[in-house]
Each structure stands twice: as C-alpha cells, then as structure tokens.
Amino acid sequence: MRPVYLDHNATTPLSPGVAAAMSPYLGGQYGNPLTAHRFGEGPRAAIDEARCSVRTLLGATDDSRVLFNSGATEGLNHALKGLALASLSDGRVGARRRIVIGGLEHYAVSAPAQWLADAFGFELVRVAPGRDGVIPADAFIDAVAADTTLVAALHWANNELGTLQPVEEIGRHCREIGVPFVCDAVQAIGKVDTQDACAFADVIALSAHKFYGPKGAGALVVRAGIDLVPLLHGASQESGQRGGTHNVAGIVGLGAAAIAAHAGRRQESPRVAALRDALADGIRGRIDRVHWNGGRAAVLPNTLNLSFEGCPSAALCAEMDRRGFAISAGAACDSGTAKPSKNVLAMGLSEGRALTSVRISLGHDTTAIDIQATQAAFAEAVSAVRADN
Ligand code: PLP
C-alpha cells in the first residue's frame, strides 16, 4: 500500500496544475522581470497576474499592496517589525507601545513580537485561549486600546488544533478604532472562505506551500495607508518594500495555487470534513480513552487533534509511521521533540493531555479508503504503544 500522508498542515504536495504553470519560468522564461528588454516582459506579466490572483483570493482592493516574499515567516516579521520600526521616533518607542497577540500564535508571530519587546521595550500582551482552543474575542478587544496599541495580531486558524479564531469580529473592531490588525491566514487559505479578508484585516500573510503551491513563496497583502519599514533593503523590487530578484517561478506557482484554492474550496472543504468526521468517529468507536482537543469549537475541515491516554505522542507517531501513515505530534516546527504541546497546555488542559496529542491533517489526496486504513492503523498502533507503557 502507498504511504498515507496526513500532515497537510505542515505542508502540501505541489499540485500538478501548479507545477505546469511554473514550468516555463524554470525554463525559457528566465528573464529578470525588472529588465526593460523583451526577456523581462513575460516574467513581468506573470508576476502581475499572480498579484491579481492573490487579490481575488482575499478580496483586496486595487490600491492595496501585494508584496511577494519567501513565505509567512518573512511576511509576519515584516508586518510586526515594519509597523514597530515605523513607529519609533528618534529610535524610541512612542505612546503606542502595546503589541497584542493571541496566546496560540505561531512562532512567526510570537517570536518577532517578543523580540520587539526585548530589544526596544514594546509592551507585549498575549491573550489566553479558552479550553476550546479559541481566543475569546471580548478579552482580545479589551486588551486593544486605541491610544496605546500599536498593532494587534491574530491567526485565522490554528495549525495544530484547527480551531478558527474570531478574526473578523476583532479585525472590524480594530479598524473602527484605528489599530492595524495583522492576520496570519496561513492555515485558512483554501479551507475557509477568505474572499472578504481584506474587509477586516489590514495586513494578511500567507505561504504557498500550505495550499498546494511551492515552498519558499509567500505574500503579504497590505492595505493602502498602512506604512511598513522594509525588512530587506535592496533594489526597488516590490515598490522598495522587499529588495531582491523575484522568485518568478515561485510567484507564478503561488498565483496558480491561489486561483485553484479560491475555485476549489466550496467542493473540497465539505468532502474533507466528511472524511475527517468519519475518521474521528471510527477512531473513537474502536479505541477508548481518546479526546478531541478543540473539537467542540469551529475547526478547519481537514484537521483533527486527538489525545490518546497512555500514548506519548512521539511514540504513537513513530508506530503510525512504521505502518506507513504520516501524522505529527504538534506543529512541524515542534514535531520530534518530546515536549508537551504548547498549544494544548495554553488551552488549560493537563500536561498528560499535552504529552499525548497528535495532529492528523487531511488534504486533496486523502480518500475514503485511506480513512478506513488509518482507523485500523490507529487501533494497532495505540495497542502497541499502550502495551509498552
Ligand atoms: N503561521 C502558521 C499558522 C503556520 O502554520 C505556519 C507554518 O506552519 C507559519 C505561520 C509559518 O509559515 P512558513 O513556515 O511557511 O513561513
């Protein structure tokens, strides 16, 4: 049997259609898009088209900027540091010194926010989630004050739990009071409806490899009127906001993946959600002492985070891997560590629950046959790990 990949929140395979769209830009269309001669024309037009595709995906107006970059880690660093550095006066932090973030943010948000606090003295406020893995909108809104808050940042969907965050309510409030709202949309793209995102978020970050595009390509969408200091000073690419020769094939791939995500979501999300629910029911029917972390909240259609009592996550992932099933213990960047899941702990759940949680994330290539096989594999793997403990 072919291996079954159930780790789509870590990364997705490149779709064949996206690879085909990229192919000319890895071959004959090699010109630098900034050059005036004919070799630059095709790549330049392709980049313009990709910008339109990203705008369509997020409902961005023509006056907003779509800045291509290497992915969301760069984009989110650019958003937070760019806003913070733009606010300094004579190198000093001003009255608006508070950075408000959710308590379940990816390191791509929490690490630059912490760095800004440590290096410059910005005040960092993290709003704790509830036991359902959702940041309460009222607590977040209470932490954001117009006269003192420089920026608020919240992810749309959690990478590990799949829980959906109240980004629209919070974003609209922030816009009303004039506080820039940064949304990490990495896990939401192609899974939930994002076409009104720019109506409530001022800065939006995404990574192509999370929605069947290439690795190393991302975009930051910035509403008109929001000023960011560039992270990469260099030549005039991306209106001087991100120097460095364009990754043309990557950008074209991102654009093609954006179009496909936009067009395919309505059909794909219910299909994957039905498979995910069948998997959850099948596992809970066969195996006792299983808990769905965050399962009572609204979650991404493809994501299941389960704790199996008596099964350390790393041991269970290894048993599943031996049987040909790729799942993960927490996020990809934490996976392989024997540490408890920081997200499950942040929800206020026990250390035991956090040490035994695994993430199963389905994707376009997941079939009903895979789901049946996965249930059987879990039953065997859990017995094996429990017998060893
Ligand atoms: N934000 C979230 C929610 C993520 O899941 C990830 C990656 O897993 C990132 C940000 C960072 O994305 P990248 O590693 O593509 O830069």
- Report the alpha-carbon distance of residue 384 to residue 81 in Å, rounded: 47
Res 344 pLDDT > 70? yes
Pairing mode, if any, of strands 218-222 and 65-69? antiparallel
pLDDT digits (tens, 9 = 90+) for 276-329: 999 999 999 999 999 999 987 799 999 999 999 999 999 999 999 999 999 999
Q: Is 363 in the pocket of ligand 1 (CB under 6 A)?
A: no
- Report the alpha-carbon distance of residue 169 to residue 199 in Å, rounded: 11
CA of 220 to the centre of ligand 1 (A): 13
| pLDDT score of 295 | 83
**Helical packing angle, 72-87 and 107-120, nearest 10°:** 30
The closest-lying atom of ligand 1 relative to the alpha carbon of residue 209 is 15
- Report the alpha-carbon distance of residue 7 to residue 354 in Å, rounded: 19
Q: Which residues contact 315 (CB under 8 A, 6 or more apart)?
A: 385, 388
Alpha-carbon separation of residue 97 from 85, 153, 181, 183, 305 (angstroms)? 11, 14, 15, 19, 36
* Half-sphere exposure of residue 261: CA atoms within 13 angstroms, side-chain side: 33
pTM over 0.75: yes
| pLDDT score of 333 | 56
| φ and ψ of 183, to 5 deg | -120, 120
Tell me which DSSP letter residue 245 carries.
-
CA of 335 to the centre of ligand 1 (A): 14
* pLDDT band of 335, cuts 50, 70, 90: low
Active site residue 333: yes
Task: Check 52, 183, 317, 333 and give the catalytic one.
Answer: 333
| pLDDT score of 90 | 85
Domains and CATH numbers, the chain: 4-10+266-388 (3.90.1150.10), 16-261 (3.40.640.10)
- Report the alpha-carbon distance of residue 216 to residue 210 in Å, rounded: 11
**Mean of pLDDT values over 148-166:** 98
Q: Could you give the percent of the chain with pLDDT greater than 90?
A: 94
The closest-lying atom of ligand 1 relative to the alpha carbon of residue 157 is 3
Q: Is 184 in the pocket of ligand 1 (CB under 6 A)?
A: yes
Site of tokens 């001669």 = 37
The closest-lying atom of ligand 1 relative to the alpha carbon of residue 332 is 8
pLDDT digits (tens, 9 = 90+) for 64-87: 999 999 999 999 999 999 999 999
CA of 132 to the centre of ligand 1 (A): 21
pLDDT digits (tens, 9 = 90+) for 349-358: 999 999 999 9
CA of 161 to the centre of ligand 1 (A): 14
| pLDDT score of 315 | 96
> H helices of the chain, where?
16-26, 41-58, 72-87, 107-120, 137-143, 167-177, 248-286, 313-322, 342-346, 351-355, 368-388
| pLDDT score of 158 | 98
